[in-house]
Structure formats: C-alpha cells, structure tokens
Structure 1
Amino acid sequence: MPPKKKAAVSAPSTMKELKDTLWKAADKLRGSMDASQYKDVILGLVFLKYVSDAFDERREQIREELVADGMDDEQIADLIDDQDEYVGSGVFYVPETARWTYLSQNAKGTQEVGGVAGKTIGQIVDDAMRSLMTANASVLSGTLPILYNNVSVDQRRLGELIDLLGDTRFTGHGAKKARDVLGEVYEYFLEKFARAEGKRGGEFYTPAGVVRVLVEVLEPYNGRVYDPCCGSGGMFVQTEKFIEHHGGNPTQVAVYGQELNQRTWQMARMNLAIHGVTGDLADRWEDTFAQDKHPDLLADYVMANPPFNIKDWSRREDDKRW
C-alpha cells in the first residue's frame, strides 16, 4: 500500500490566521532566550521582511517603467539599482545580501567555498541588518538589532522562521496593502510581547484602546504632535490612522518624540518606518527629564502615557521647562 501523501499546508487566508501562524512560529524561538531579547529578534525580522517586500515591489515598478520607455535588458540592469529611485518613493534601499530572497536561499547558513568561511543564518541576518543601516544611514543608523548570531538564538529555528515568513503571503488580505498588513502584524506582536512581560511591557506599549481615546480627544488633524515618552511610537501611528479615517492628509502632521530606553527607541523607529510615518525621534535615546532632545519645539499637541511607576528621577535646575 503506497504511503499517504501529506496534505498541503494552506497559506493563512485572514488577518487572524496570519497573526496566529506567525506568533506560533515565532514562539519556537523562545527557548532559553529572555523576553526582551526574544522581542528584538522577532520584531527585527518583521521589519526586515517589510522593507524587502517594499523594495521588491518598487523594483518591479521601475522595471516596468523602463520597459515602457523602450529600454533593453542591459540598459535596465544599469538603471534599476539607482538608489534615488527608491528613496524618492519613500522606500528603503535594500542591498542584495539583505533582501529576503537571499536570506531564504541561505536559511540554513552557507558552507565554506574556495577558502571563504561559511556563515550561520544568524551571521547572515546580522550582516543584512548592518548593510541595510549603512545604505539608509540618515534614517536607520543605530536602529536595527544585531543579535541573531548570539548563542541564545537557536540557528535551526531561526532558519525555520525565515522560511515561514518567506512563504507567508503578506498581500491579498482584502484591500489591505502589504505595508498595512505588516504594520498590523507588528502592532500585534508588540501587544503580545507587552502582555508576556507583564508590568515591564508598559515601558514600551500602551494598550491600543487607550491610545485611540487620547488621539480622538485631542483630534490632531494638523500641526506638531509631541510625545515626550513615546515608547514604541503607538501615539504617532494612531494619529496617522485617525487623520486617514477622517479623510485628512497625514503629511500635515509632524511628529516628535523622545524615549529613554535604547531598545524601545529602536522599536519605535522601526514601527514608524513600517507604517510609513516620518517622525523626529531625536538622534538617540535619552531621558526627557534630564536631557530635552527637542528644546526649541513648540508643539500643538502633547500626548503621552508617562511611566508613572518610576520613582528614581531628577531634574536640572537650569532647565527652563521647570
């Protein structure tokens, strides 16, 4: 009797199925990793998948435009990697070894060839993060996690997660764009990680319902929006959603934020990039009480969920804010 064939695994067809599938896959990585590092590993991969998808989409658009202009394959090859063509359309330029196709092809790592040492998938992902930050230094410098080759990261499971992310369809979910789908996934992961970390989760995440109420009360249709303890940037993302829902123009709002924790500041910058929100979160993380990174800002709206549980804080007597 011939062996039974395994049933094909169907791709997630709804947003809920997509989120649940990705969360279960990501959960495989938990192992001996502490919660904060686990969070950084997963969110970094989601961000890398987003920028790679957006790059591929823009690359295909450029190719179609060049073909329409009557150019041959050689001319197209000379022009299709013009970085300005991507950045000018609000898309990060992704070097070849940082593209998801390259990561997927090498999800099990590379072997030594011709005297060139092989690499684990963790090394390949770390290199991808570095090259992506270098290619987009003005926006991403110091933002992305470099920790995928740490001993606490299971390399086999990391490769499996990359395979799953590559196989999952991030388009085709109703009328949603790939950016919106990935943005929703990122927010979902933030919420799940915050719940997993309990009280500490409040340091980087404010429940969506609370953020929504704050934004709807203030109605920031235009002007400058400031969050002095911005966490992972939820206030800014919700502001954009509010404006779009009411038929406004999100470009009429400028967002400014500051965050004390380095990892949370990095998460916020990735979160804004995924949602297509341009914001000024300063050049680095810093304590708002001790060092105001936006001293000349005259904000039209200030919204925040301050860290009320922090007892050890100080102020500078020469700070005009006091």
Structure 2
Amino acid sequence: MTLDIPLSLSELENYLAKGADLLRGSVDQADFKAYIFPLMFFKRISDVYLEEYAAALDESDGDHEYASFAENHRFTIPDGCLWDDIRERTENIGQALQTAFREIEKANPDTLYGIFGNASWTNKEKLSDAKLANLIEHFSPQTLSKAAVAPDVFGNAYEYLIKRFADQSNKKAGEYYTPRSVVGLLVNILDPAEGETIYDPACGTGGMLIEVIEHVKKSGGSPKTLWGKLYGQEKVLATSAIARMNLLLHGVEDFNIAREDTLRTPAFYTGNHLAQFDCVLANPPFSLKKWGHEEWTKDSWGRNRIGGVPPKGYADWAWVQHM
C-alpha cells in the first residue's frame, strides 16, 4: 500500500535519511550520494508519471491511450521501467535498476541523459538483492508525487541530504559541497536579478544556481525568467548528475549543466570566444594540483593573456582568469 498523505519538510528529511542509513556497512559513506540520489529521483519521476497518467485519464474519461501520450508527461518512462516494476523483482534487482535507468535516459535524451550516474548497482558483494529489496521497500510506501511533496519541499530535502552526506563523509566533501551560508553571502553580494544569465564554472551539486533562484524569488522577481539562463559546469560525473537532479527536483524546467573539465575544456562558447554572462559566481576547488598547466601555456581561448600562467601546483589564478 502507498500513502498519498502530504509530507512536511522535516518528515521528508527524516524519511530520506533513514533510507540512506540502510546503506551503512555496504557502501562507503562518501559514496552514499551516488546511490541514494538516483534512487530518490527514480521514485519521484515514477510517482509523478503515475500522477500525470491519472490526471490524463480523468481528463479523457478513462482513455488509456490518451493518458500514455508523451504530451501528458514531463518525462517519458518506457514500459517495465516504473518503480513498481522494479519493486516486483526478487532477483538481480541491481541489474533491473540499471536497465531501467538506462532506458529512461535513452527515452529522454535532451533532459535525462546520464543523469543516473555510474554507480555499481550490479555489484552483489556491495549490494545484495536482499539489501536492495530492503532499500526499495523503505521508499515504496510513501508516494512522492507533486500532490504529496511540492517541488520546493522536495528540493529543500534534497539539499538537506547533500549537506548531511558531506558532513558525514568529510571525505572530499569540499569537491561538491559549499556551506549554504557561504553560498547565500556570495549571492547576496552579487545580487542577481530576474532575466539575467547566471554561470557557475565549478557548480558541484548546483547549490549556487538554486540559491540564485531563491534570491530572485525573495526579491519579488519571477524565477521563471531564469529558465534557460542557468549555466554550470562540473567535471565529476556523479556530481554533475546530482546538480541536474537538484535543479529538476526544485522545479526548474530549463537549464544547462555540462559535465566537463572547465579549465581544460570550457563548455560554453560562441565561435572563437568564451560565452559571457551577466553574473558569474563560484567556489572553485582551491589549490588544485593537476589542473592542466601545460594546456594553459597555449590556451586557445587566450585566458593566459591576463596575468600569465599560474603555477603548476595551484590553479587558483587560472579560475580567476577563466571567470
């Protein structure tokens, strides 16, 4: 049985955190995010798909063909790839999950390609069928539809988990997490306005971009004027996927998150020139060692013309030159 009762933020945070705790002893805490976030996202889009399907049925007097039309859904979920399809499995659950993830990504190439990351779902020494079944059962009873959990509530709970995992692991947490007090300070100083283009060249899990949206909202502006104008780049696959999930779960309809090394291969440009933005904000990885010193000496974008080439073992000035 599933529950359609709306969840408060604290209830949802507790519910998600207990699910993460089920991984203890099987997965390193630093890797919790690579498993829990894709699973959360999968549950959310499955429940929203069924919610949309039910609404389309009501609208069409029970026409199932109509309810299946892609126009009635934010994302396409192929047959056999919903949450309940995986819940029915008792063997090779990890393989079933991985297959569902890849099929969903292929069905939504412009929005979800690569979003589920590359966690080792099929490694039974790490995640046995019994462990995965327990994890799926934990998340199954509560419906995570939009009616039960509004996008801002789900997004805030997602941010809570990002911080929780960073606090617990302390292992390379700085690679993807910036304390929200620091993020808030940076955004308030820059004071981005509605309709502006925003760029974070070291976006991590997307916290800066989320804070910009909240800032515009608090200033009385419309966050929707930022749709299609939010840009971020992150070189770690799992972290860039989390950033995309973060924005989607906050209800952001259109954004650009590129998975690539910003210093070596900047993703946003026009012709022979790097793209320019109204607002650039970032907390880049300071004192980065192997950052591409050799490439920078002959940087095709000309970023080394201002101030020369930074030291081999410190990329700090390179980040400033890029921005």
| TM score, norm. by length of structure 2 | 0.81
Aligned to 2:207: 234
Is 1:281 matched with 2:254? no
Is 1:29–1:154's contact at 8 Å kept on the other side of the alignment?
no
Deviations 1:64-119 (A, max 9, x none): 2212xxxxx4xx12211111222xxxx11222322223233x1xx24xxxxxxxx4
The one-letter code of the counterpart of 1:15 is L
Q: Distance in 2 between the 1:48 and 1:16 partners?
A: 21
Is 1:194–1:201's contact at 8 Å kept on the other side of the alignment?
yes
Note the aligned Cα RMSD (angstroms).
Answer: 2.4
Aligned to 1:8: none
Aligned to 2:281: 303
Change (3 A) 1:159 1:182: farther
Is 1:96 matched with 2:61? no
Is 1:143 matched with 2:136? no
Change (3 A) 1:77 1:291: same
Aligned to 2:163: 191
Change (3 A) 1:309 1:97: farther
Aligned partner of 1:158 among 132, 137, 152: 132
Change (3 A) 1:94 1:13: closer
Q: Distance in 2 between the 1:263 and 1:12 partners?
A: 30
- Residue 177 (structure 1) shift: 4.3
The one-letter code of the counterpart of 1:26 is A
Q: Distance in 2 between the 1:248 and 1:12 partners?
A: 28
Matched residue of 1:64: which SS?
helix
Identical columns (%) = 34
Q: Distance in 1 between the 2:276 and 2:69 partners?
A: 38
Aligned partner of 1:40 among 34, 41, 45: 34
Instruction: Show structure 2 runs of 5+ residues with no match.
Output: 305-323
Is 2:13–2:160's contact at 8 Å kept on the other side of the alignment?
yes
Aligned to 2:224: 251
Change (3 A) 1:47 1:228: same
The one-letter code of the counterpart of 1:95 is P
Is 2:8–2:153's contact at 8 Å kept on the other side of the alignment?
no
Length, aligned pairs only? 287
The one-letter code of the counterpart of 1:249 is S
Change (3 A) 1:261 1:292: same
Instruction: Show structure 1 runs of 5+ residues with no match.
Output: 1-10, 68-72, 111-118
- Residue 41 (structure 1) shift: 0.7
- Residue 244 (structure 1) shift: 2.3
Deviations 1:161-185 (A, max 9, x none): 211212135479xx98432232222
| TM score, norm. by length of structure 1 | 0.81
- Residue 12 (structure 1) shift: 9.5
Matched residue of 2:231: which SS?
strand
Change (3 A) 1:154 1:180: farther
- 1:19-98 equivalent positions in 2, closer than 5 A: 19-67=13-61, 73=62, 76-86=63-73, 91-98=74-81
The one-letter code of the counterpart of 1:168 is Q
Change (3 A) 1:60 1:244: farther
Aligned to 2:302: 320
